[in-house]
Amino acid sequence: MKKSKFIITLVFLTIGAARVWAQAPKPYGPTPSARQKEWYDREIIAFFHFGINTFEDYVNEGDGKASTAIFNPTSLDCNQWAQTMKLAGISTGILVAKHADGFCNWPSAYTDYSVKNTPWRNGKGDLVKEFTNAFNATGLKSALYLGPHDRHEHLSPLYSIPKYQSYYANQLKELLTNYGPIWETWWDGAGADELTTPVYTEWEKIVRSLQPNCVIFGTKNSYRFADVRWVGNESGLAGDPCWSTIDSISIKDESAHIKELNEGQVNGNAYIPAETDVSIRPSWFYHPEEDKDVKTPQQLWDIYCNSVGHNSVLLLNFPPDRRGLIHPIDSANVVQLRHIIDETFANNLLAGASIKAKNGRGGIYKTSNLIDKDPNSYYATKDESSTDEIIFKMKSTNTFDCLMIQEVIELGHRITEWTVEYADDGKSWKSIPGASNKQSIGHKWIVRFPSITAKYIRLRITKGNASAALHTFGIFKQSSKLKKQQGKYITSRCNLDIHNYTGFFGRI
């Protein structure tokens, strides 16, 4: 063989060997669909409860009898909603098109109980249109809640009759045909026990044919069609652990399965991650007496860490007021949440650390991928290693009180037990409070703890279903803005609309 041929052959053999050696890990168990992946990447979704209840005194579930004459927002402006969400870094909004009272926020052709019989915009208004137009124009995604429970149409116990089923189906078609891309639809389980799976089977066909990318939030009898599940409470708390997998057959009797909804099941047969719905105020609809009870940025940060940071997506509700605007306290607090999130995670203190792993896969799956900011690169262990020990030696000693870790969700839940420790000398390891024997990771897991100062960090993966595949690992110092918040300080400063807000952080 000529020398040049030999060298070329050698090069090809080496490349081939490296490829085999560093082949991508194979997925394990149920994995997310493209829709679920897109949903996870949203992290926070805004919910908007607005309708005829807004104009009644302290009503959160209307009886369907309120007169349409009371619906008259004085300065409704969905651009203000969209701009606020943009400032808060929230990419998607779900508008309640029809709540349990049956009042339609759009001029449905199938009922008179709608905006067309109100004084608002002289009966010519269409809130769904204004909402979707404003969100689309701002580069945000629109989504709609069409409550299956309708106390105006419903002559109990007649949900089962074809008349109601086609009434709902027709409205679903209106909403999914006339308003551009709709990214999520919500089948609230509240009051919907009578609705059977065959009914949802027909409705699901409508969703899938008209809006193939639309994520279905399903509950109870619609559960088998669900892309995402209810988290089991309305307090902003996803479980610990919180697996994206769950046995789909076991959830029909919801009340008997609140724990499974909250925590998922480690080897569940279906991939149906939890969506955490919670209101920024005590109620879902606006009531002026709750202006003093808006969740503070600190409370919202807690909720973020317990939902997004527990492998869930946060669905945070904003109830627009009787003017049809998001109240300035709500706007200010959610924008400050965004500042807190961004400031906390801007600086991974492991950046620049030297990293040693025991069971690295090699090739492109290198340890430095854990601390780069590339969402496509990841670290992986060898196929035969479902455990690992990864030591980070920082350039200098750092103080931190938070850690964040992300798995490669397309490859399924792989890691099932992990622990993080610290040391000054790289030898005498101490556990980080709350970071021992953790279980699920999934899209994102966050742990907060009292401040620690150290130079070495050790991530131990102690059990797994398959080789580990991790996008990100980091330690952080929580935003200094959290400390500055004392009691009602934030809310007392923010009494202007978002347009004119010059509060705590200056003009935004």
Which residues here bind ligand IPT, judged by CB under 6 A?
A: 188-190, 219-220, 230, 234, 254, 277
Phi, psi of 492 (to 5 degrees): -70, -20
- Give whichever of 10 and 256 is closer to ligand IPT, judged by the CB atom: 256
- Give whichever of 189 and 241 is closer to ligand IPT, judged by the CB atom: 189
Phi, psi of 355 (to 5 degrees): -125, 135
Pairwise CA distance, residues 146 & 168, whole Å: 8
**Residue 36 CB contacts under 8 Å (≥ 6 apart), including other chains:** 215, 227, 228, 244, 271, 273
Least distance in angstroms from the C-beta of 228 to ligand IPT: 11
- Give whichever of 188 and 227 is closer to ligand IPT, judged by the CB atom: 188
Asked if 90 and 44 touch (Cβ cutoff 8 Å), the reply is yes
Beta bridge partners of 428: none
Pairwise CA distance, residues 150 & 163, whole Å: 13
Strands 379-380 and 469-476: antiparallel
Least distance in angstroms from the C-beta of 311 to ligand IPT: 18
Letter string b/e over residues 450-465, b meaning 16 or more CB atoms within 10 A of that residue's CB: eebebbbbbbbbbebe
The DSSP element (H or E) to which 136 belongs, if any, is: helix 127-137
Residue with structure tokens 């609809």? 285
- Give whichever of 242 and 357 is closer to ligand IPT, judged by the CB atom: 242
Q: What is the 3-state secondary structure (H, E, C) of 326-360?
A: CCHHHHHHHHHHHHHHHHHHCCCCCCCCEEEECCE
Least distance in angstroms from the C-beta of 200 to ligand IPT: 13
- Give whichever of 219 and 491 is closer to ligand IPT, judged by the CB atom: 219
Pairwise CA distance, residues 485 & 298, whole Å: 8
Instruction: Name the residue with the smallest CB distance to ligand IPT.
Output: 189
As a dihedral over the C-alpha atoms of residue 147, residue 148, residue 151, residue 156, rounded to 10 degrees, the angle is -170
Least distance in angstroms from the C-beta of 41 to ligand IPT: 22
- Give whichever of 191 and 363 is closer to ligand IPT, judged by the CB atom: 191
Least distance in angstroms from the C-beta of 254 to ligand IPT: 6
- Give whichever of 219 and 398 is closer to ligand IPT, judged by the CB atom: 219
Least distance in angstroms from the C-beta of 414 to ligand IPT: 30
Nearest in space to 241 (alpha carbons), one of 171, 294, 311, 149: 311
Least distance in angstroms from the C-beta of 307 to ligand IPT: 13
Tokens for 453, please give them.
Answer: 């100062």
- Give whichever of 51 and 297 is closer to ligand IPT, judged by the CB atom: 51
Pairwise CA distance, residues 290 & 286, whole Å: 8
- Give whichever of 147 and 474 is closer to ligand IPT, judged by the CB atom: 147
Pairwise CA distance, residues 75 & 145, whole Å: 23
Least distance in angstroms from the C-beta of 308 to ligand IPT: 17
Least distance in angstroms from the C-beta of 189 to ligand IPT: 2
- Count CB neighbours of 170 within 10 A: 15
Least distance in angstroms from the C-beta of 126 to ligand IPT: 26
Phi, psi of 46 (to 5 degrees): -95, 145
- Give whichever of 290 and 421 is closer to ligand IPT, judged by the CB atom: 290
- Give whichever of 129 and 252 is closer to ligand IPT, judged by the CB atom: 252
Least distance in angstroms from the C-beta of 190 to ligand IPT: 4
Taking the chain, what is the end-to-end CA distance rounded to the nearest angstrom? 70
